[in-house]
Amino acid sequence: MMLGALASILSFFPVIGLATLGGFLSQKSGVWNIALEGVMAFGAFSGVLAYHYLGGSVWVSLLFGFLIGLVVGALLSLLCVRLGLDQIVTGYGLWFITEGMAGYLYYTVLPSVRVVETIGPDILSLDPVFYLTLLSYGVLYMVMSRTRHGLAVRAVGESPRAADTAGIDVGRVRGVCTALGSGFVSLAGSYLSLVILQGFTYRMVAGYGWTAFALVLFGRWKTGSVFLGSLFFTLLIGLQTRLQVIGIGFIPPEFVVVLPHIGVILALALAGAIGKRAGMPAALGVHYERE
Amino acid sequence: MKDTLEEPGTGRGPVILEMRRITKRFPGVVANDRVSFDLRRGEVHCIVGENGAGKTTLVNVLYGLYQMDEGEILVEGQKVSIGSPREAMSLDIGMIHQFFTLVPGLTVLENIILGHEPTQGPFLDLERAKEEILRLQERFDLRVDLDAEPSQLATGQKQKVEILKALYRGAKILIMDEPTSVLAPGEKEELIRNLRLMTEGGDLSIIFITHKLPEAVAASDRITVLRKGRVVDTVEAGQVDQAALAQMMVGRDVLFEAARSETVKGERVLEVRDLEALDDAGRRALRGASLYVSEGEILGVAGVSGNGQKELVEVIMGLRKAERGEVIIKGLETTGSSPKEIRGLGVGYIPEDRLGRGILAHATVCENLVLGAHSKNPFAKGLFTDPVRIREHAERLVREYGIETPSVDKPAGKLSGGNILKLILAREFSRDPDLLIADKPTSGLDVGSEESVRRRLMEERSRGKAILLVSEDLDELMTMSDRIAVMYEEEIMGVVGAGEATREEIGEMIAGAKRSGP
């Protein structure tokens, strides 16, 4: 019983974990992607779109959602990395467009889609995407700390000029990280619509994208901390859902719903108190151009 | 290609780098005028010269940062073209800049291997890298903790990391652009010792740029002196004394005599006693500085920039904290007062950073001209400013000072450099200050504007104002000042009457080769 409850809570982990991982990758290379919320919504829509038109396989639909995320991320890096537009303003616009488009297209183009297929064999009553998320973090950790690619990403995020001097193609590294990161964010959205909610509704992402964004800051741009942070937040969400169902006396359910978000704010405040910009890539948000 | 040049017989290695008749022009100046330079294997070759003599331009050409207009470069007898730093690196040329290019979040080890990582399969081979770097550290006595992050290192250690970076990439020719200017005294001696060690085996040859003669003589095998973009001479370091070098460096141009009228020197308007201050990095930049300026007098402050002049001026203006000592303006101690209080005493200020400190670039010419007085009579009444008066005032100053602008409503930042300076002069002089602090007021100006600024300052002097004039231009100081204070490495080397010292003597003081009693 307990194990079952835990498994059901953890099945939500890929939503938070993958989105956070995507935001992390982009920020680590020095690019703010503040459109996580919108990219997730678009991923959620793309997932059900693919489910409807591409033969009803959840795996294929997840892959499609990931690829769409790559395209959206490539657009963002074209605007911010190549053309040097302001990352905050561009990201803000991208959030509106992707979230709005997802809702608009779903209600005008698609008939209501209900996802009925399950994803495949469960392992310990958790679906494979959970393990895929764990694996992704493992690979991310190894790449960032043990390979020259990881070294290049960190160098570009900290000091693009020094990286350029050392012969690293700053634009390419940032572009790849932003696109790939956006792919993971979109995948998180697809997982949310295809596996967790088994359908699409407007604004279904409900702030999880913003949560993921905050979790990168909370994790102080360290792979391990970011992983633990998203796991911790997943547990908070699970707890909140349980409490809502059980009910705890005089506390109104609306208050229970906001609990995880209060948790994030507290965590952020705590992280901020420890060290304002500690761990933050020094060139985050700073466009680089050769003189 | 065979090297046809005769090698003077010094018994040292063959020439590995030759730069022949390099000419590099920038709009309005010839930075390098047919400069020829060669470097022998295992040699430390110093390039000395005043600021603007073309030292940095020459090495930037070598490192591919600038493209030369004429001339040729030969590395080991082969003619090469160097279009970028990357091409320079592939020719085993490395450069240590004055400002370091270390990545803050990476360890020292990661910084050194960045871009040249040894790998094993998909992973970095940090062990191998470490071994190799430890060998270099051992051999050249460049000890730095490889696991530290740059923020934990002192400046001298950061520089060692930069040197290790170049050596790790297999540099055979190392360019160091004023490497000692950022170092503390103990670190300087260590660096100079290390230069010897690094070149001993003949695997490395070093081009060392400085304007400090004691260092040049101590560190190098040969010294090339540049002045105004041309080579004055290349000499063996052992066969020349500092006085002769100083003379070569500053030249013996005939000075034009300014019509410096005699003025009555009145009371001391500014007096600075035993002042001590730190620079932005928290290192001591000013020590035991004492000087005074009287009414009707210009006190020149000479020296290569970065020797404490900036800190001196900022302490006087209340923009920087004095660690010790006192500033007295018109008999009142102002140490620790705010810039507003100090200006209120009748002090005008022409900052070196004219765009950043001198004006509000996005505000209009009109607003800039009234800045600071905008809330006072007659420009303001009660809560509101008086736009009509402000405009009249601005238009009058624009006419009077010949500020070229289509209208007073144009953003001040859009004006040319000379006109921005005129704007600042107009604003400061219109307040009729008793003391004027002018920090390099003519730098970056064309000859015409230079002259008009100098004339203005001389006029103020003959009206009995006290002026502190900081400049790197020795000619300017010698023609304008009544007395000259020379700064070298955080200290005032001496104050001399403009008529008493020769240009060569002051040149030696600027280069740290000579001291003079006040």
Please check whether residues B163 and B128 belong to one and the same domain: yes
Sign of CA dihedral B132, B134, B137, B138: negative
Tens digit of each residue's pLDDT (9 = 90 or more) over A160-206:
988 988 888 999 999 999 999 999 999 999 999 999 998 999 989 98
Assess if residue A280 is contained within a domain: no
**Burial (Cβ within 10 Å: 0-12, 13-18, ≥19) of residue B186:** exposed
Please check whether residues B161 and B195 belong to one and the same domain: no
Assess if residue B7 is contained within a domain: yes
Structure confidence at residue B517 as a pLDDT band (50, 70, 90):
low
CB-CB contact of B32 with B24 (8 Å): yes
**Minimal Cα–Cα distance from A216 to chain B, Å?**
17
**Over 60: is that where the pLDDT of B21 sits?**
yes
Tens digit of each residue's pLDDT (9 = 90 or more) over B378-428:
888 878 888 888 999 999 999 988 888 888 898 998 887 778 888 999 999
Assess if residue A152 is contained within a domain: yes
Assess if residue A65 is contained within a domain: yes
Please check whether residues B300 and B182 belong to one and the same domain: no
What amino acid occupies position B34? R
Query: Secondary structure of chain A: what % helix, strand, coil (to 5)?
Result: 75, 0, 25
| DSSP letter (8 states) at residue B13 | P
Q: For residue B25, list its beta bridge partners.
A: B30
Return the CATH number at A194: 1.10.3470.10
Do you find a cis peptide bond into A281, omega within 30 degrees of 0? no
Please check whether residues B320 and B465 belong to one and the same domain: yes
Q: Which residues of B touch A163 (CB under 8 A)?
A: 103, 114-115
Residue tagged 């932003």 (tokens):
A178
Neighbour count for residue B278 (Cβ, 10 Å): 15
Taking phi first (over 0 means left), then psi (-120 to 50 degrees means alpha), and beta for anything else, what does residue A220 get? left
- Percent of all residues in chain B with a pLDDT value above 70, rounded to a whole number: 94
- Percent of all residues in chain B with a pLDDT value above 90, rounded to a whole number: 47
Please check whether residues B57 and B186 belong to one and the same domain: yes
Q: Which residues of A touch B122 (CB under 8 A)?
A: 147
The reported pTM is 0.72
Phi, psi of B465, deg, nearest 5: -80, 155
**Contacts of B344 by beta carbon, 8 Å cutoff, 6+ apart:** none
Q: Which residues of A touch B (CB under 8 A)?
A: 142, 146-148, 151-152, 154-155, 157-159, 161-163, 165-168, 279, 281-282
For B111, name the nearest residue in chain A, comparing CA atoms only: A155
**Minimal Cα–Cα distance from B454 to chain A, Å?**
34
Sign of CA dihedral B104, B109, B115, B117: negative
Q: Is A162–B116 a contact, with Cβ atoms under 8 angstroms apart?
A: no
Assess if residue A279 is contained within a domain: no
Q: Tokens standing for A288?
A: 């680089």
Please check whether residues B4 and B27 belong to one and the same domain: yes
Neighbour count for residue A95 (Cβ, 10 Å): 22
- Tell me what pLDDT residue A121 has: 67
Assess if residue A282 is contained within a domain: no
Assess if residue B468 is contained within a domain: yes
Average pLDDT value over all residues in chain A: 89
- Tell me what pLDDT residue A192 has: 95
Q: Which residues of A touch B102 (CB under 8 A)?
A: 159, 162
Assess if residue B211 is contained within a domain: yes
- Percent of all residues in chain A with a pLDDT value above 70, rounded to a whole number: 94
Tens digit of each residue's pLDDT (9 = 90 or more) over B426-436:
999 988 899 99
Q: Which residues of A touch B64 (CB under 8 A)?
A: none
Please check whether residues B454 and B470 belong to one and the same domain: yes
Q: Tokens standing for B508?
A: 């030696």
Q: Tokens standing for A50?
A: 């693919």
Number of domains chain B contains: 4
CA distance A207 to A213: 10
Assess if residue A190 is contained within a domain: yes
Phi, psi of B36, deg, nearest 5: -115, 140
Across the interface, of B86, B104, B124, the residue whose CB is closest to A151 is: B124
Across the interface, of B105, B111, B115, the residue whose CB is closest to A168 is: B115
DSSP B433-499: -SEEEEESTTTT--HHHHHHHHHHHHHHHHTT-EEEEE-S-HHHHHHH-SEEEEEETTEEEEEEETT
Please check whether residues B334 and B472 belong to one and the same domain: yes
Q: Is B124–A147 a contact, with Cβ atoms under 8 angstroms apart?
A: yes
Phi, psi of B370, deg, nearest 5: -100, -5
Please check whether residues B113 and B243 belong to one and the same domain: no
Q: Is B117–A159 a contact, with Cβ atoms under 8 angstroms apart?
A: no
Residue B221, domain extent = 1-92+172-251
**Over 80: is that where the pLDDT of B103 sits?**
yes
Please check whether residues B87 and B181 belong to one and the same domain: yes
Q: Tokens standing for B388?
A: 């009509």
Question: What would the mean pLDDT of B331-354 be, rounded to a whole number?
Answer: 91
Between B345 and B511, residue with greater pLDDT: B345
Tens digit of each residue's pLDDT (9 = 90 or more) over A208-267:
999 999 999 888 899 999 999 999 989 988 888 887 777 666 777 777 777 777 877 887
Residue tagged 């109104």 (tokens):
A252
**Over 80: is that where the pLDDT of A1 sits?**
no
| DSSP letter (8 states) at residue B150 | G
For B99, name the nearest residue in chain A, comparing CA atoms only: A162
Query: Which of A140, A144, A145, A151 has the most B C-beta neighbours within 10 Å, making it the best mutation to test the interface with B?
Result: A151
Return the CATH number at B328: 3.40.50.300
Number of domains chain A contains: 1
Q: Chain B, 98-137: which have a CB under 8 Å from a chain A CB?
A: 101-106, 110-111, 113-117, 119, 122-124
Please check whether residues B196 and B235 belong to one and the same domain: yes
Q: Which of B383, B414, B432 is the last residue of a domain?
A: B432
Q: Which of B412, B432, B452 is the last residue of a domain?
A: B432
Assess if residue A39 is contained within a domain: yes
CA distance A72 to B448: 56
Q: Tokens standing for A138?
A: 């493992």
Please check whether residues B290 and B414 belong to one and the same domain: no
Q: Is A146–B124 a contact, with Cβ atoms under 8 angstroms apart?
A: yes
Q: Is B110–A163 a contact, with Cβ atoms under 8 angstroms apart?
A: no
Q: Tokens standing for A114?
A: 């209900």
CA distance A197 to A199: 6
Q: Which of B191, B219, B251 is the last residue of a domain?
A: B251
Query: Secondary structure of chain B: what % helix, strand, coil (to 5)?
Result: 35, 25, 40
Assess if residue B256 is contained within a domain: no
For A290, name the nearest residue in chain B, comparing CA atoms only: B65
Q: Is B101–A161 a contact, with Cβ atoms under 8 angstroms apart?
A: yes
Average pLDDT value over all residues in chain B: 87
Assess if residue A290 is contained within a domain: no
Phi, psi of B381, deg, nearest 5: -130, 120
**Minimal Cα–Cα distance from B17 to chain A, Å?**
23
CB-CB contact of A155 with B106 (8 Å): yes
Assess if residue B513 is contained within a domain: yes
- Percent of all residues in chain A with a pLDDT value above 90, rounded to a whole number: 60
**Minimal Cα–Cα distance from A151 to chain B, Å?**
7
Assess if residue B161 is contained within a domain: yes
